[in-house]
Structure 1
Amino acid sequence: MNLRFDDRVAVITGAGRGLGREYALLLASLGAKVVVNDPGGSLTGDGNDPGPAHAVVDEIRAAGGPAVANTDTVGTAAGGEAIVGTALETYGRIDILIHNAGIVRRASLKDMSYDDFDAVLDVHLRGAFHVVRPAFPLMCAAGYGRIVLTSSIGGLYGNHGVANYAAAKAGILGLCNVVALEGAAEGVTCNAIVPGAVTRMAEGLDTSAYPPMGADLVAPVVGWLAHETCSVTGEVFVAIAGRVARAVVAESPGVYRPEWTVEEVAGDIDAIRDLSTPVTFPVVPEGHAEHIRYSFGAADTQSSDGRAHV
């Protein structure tokens, strides 16, 4: 079965270079009409250059596909509206939204400026909201939509010198969950990609020992998440160096007591932390409620020694 995107309209942010460019070229080669968004700024988000976005559009058109450039920033609400507006003005609809735009401003937590913290959140996290907010109601009204948001290994596990980036990428996961929940009854899916590829964001890092880590190893995963046959929502997918995996939030079963003291927490800490039988709560249809029901159910399983493992 050939999975194509004929007549689908895709908006891809940060599509002038790296991963976003690869996504745009892939979807266009499979029939999608693509809005290539990229203001063309530096890695730190400074300046602008319409060249990268227009170069990708030229590449798509040279191959016979339809595409249009947009150079607005995702960092403002007005920019997000304009990006989605380009899809409506040019193609009359939006079916796919891939938020890939990102910048990096590295500094230790001791030294990071408030401006650098905000600038990174503006593009990654607020930027996601700035494009999701205008696109989501349109998708719901149409009864169809595919949204892919970009998190990172840093968002899952943290990293040195990027508190701003890590916080933004972790926030993306919370936003993704809500979009998935509210879109479930409307035909709109939302998933997160955690990509690993050697792009300009790797500048300054020693990548000499890395295995092949091209953006081409990530793009097919994003392509499936953006396709009408995508059968999941509210999930997180890792794609790095040819490995594709699902990431989840997991809990230990835990320990229940009707009352706790600090000493009892200390005494039970090994059991509290025991992940040998992890518990997960899928976002859709109602992970939030399932979590509460599971936790409340602990009291019903209380053992004779005064405590209960959930």
Structure 2
Amino acid sequence: MTVTQEQADWFHDAFTRLVGNVDRAILGKRDVIRLVVTAMLTEGHVLLEDVPGTGKTQLAKALANTLDGSNSRIQFTPDLLPSDVTGVTIYDQHQGAFEFHRGPIFASVVLADEINRASPKTQSALLEVMEEGRVTVDGVAHDVGSPFMVIATQNPVEQAGTYTLPEAQLDRFLVKTSLGYPDHDTALALLVDSSNRSRSAGVAPIIAAESITAMAQLAADVHVDPSVLDYLNRIVAATREHPDTTLGVSMRGALALARAVKTWAISQGRTYATPDDVRELAEPVLAHRVIVDPESAFRGVTAAQVVGGCVAEIDPPAYRAA
């Protein structure tokens, strides 16, 4: 199905309103909000990694409040069990049968706060649901419904009582990004409004859950020229062959970037994707999937630099506006 210009304009307007609504809680970070909303409309998940106190949880809450659907928050701790996330089967003596009690993962938007504080066993409970949209408990599969999105937060400076996320789980996050500290003017505006302890609480829902699903389906039909896909794949392949990496981007990562590019394109009112869309999304979608060689990391090489270098070295195809 071909996306019409009228549909692209409608998507652009809805996308702009979503970003503006979340921006009421997180001032001065519109670019990051656009990335997170793009992930939601691509039916992907987001990992927010930043130092404490930069608004990671507020951003996640604001996005959850924007959606007129269910949302839940899971505070990850070392003693959290997989059943505390997915749910548990309990024997009902009155019914004489086992009954499944859903866990907090059954929501449209799930905030996994400080995800790296949970044990690897508990983190593994998210692998199936983030990939397939369902959980299996006692051999029975339970769908979590649509839309479904996990927004996880972690900070890189506190190492005590934390567990590194396994590569398989990192690969299931569509986007990894950070907020950073606000600029001077934004910081002043926040200080003036310092009595407001929860800015996200003032964010009202403006879109139904069903509309998110419809927008995701519309974005999936955006046209991507074979030359753009070839450009995307060459960037992905370059990360695997880079001398500073021990593991490059997986095929799951390449597919994730292809889907995100479509959403990014239509969010700007276009019915087609361009090489510029690939360049803009390459780092936030691909960098967290790259493992840098330990010796290279000791020299200061980062995954973002690897991806940026691959993008810079590969010539994009020529294109013209449709």
TM-score (norm 2): 0.31
Return the structure number with greater relative CO, CA threshold 8 A, min gap 6: 2
* Bigger CA radius of gyration: 1
TM-score by length of 1: 0.32
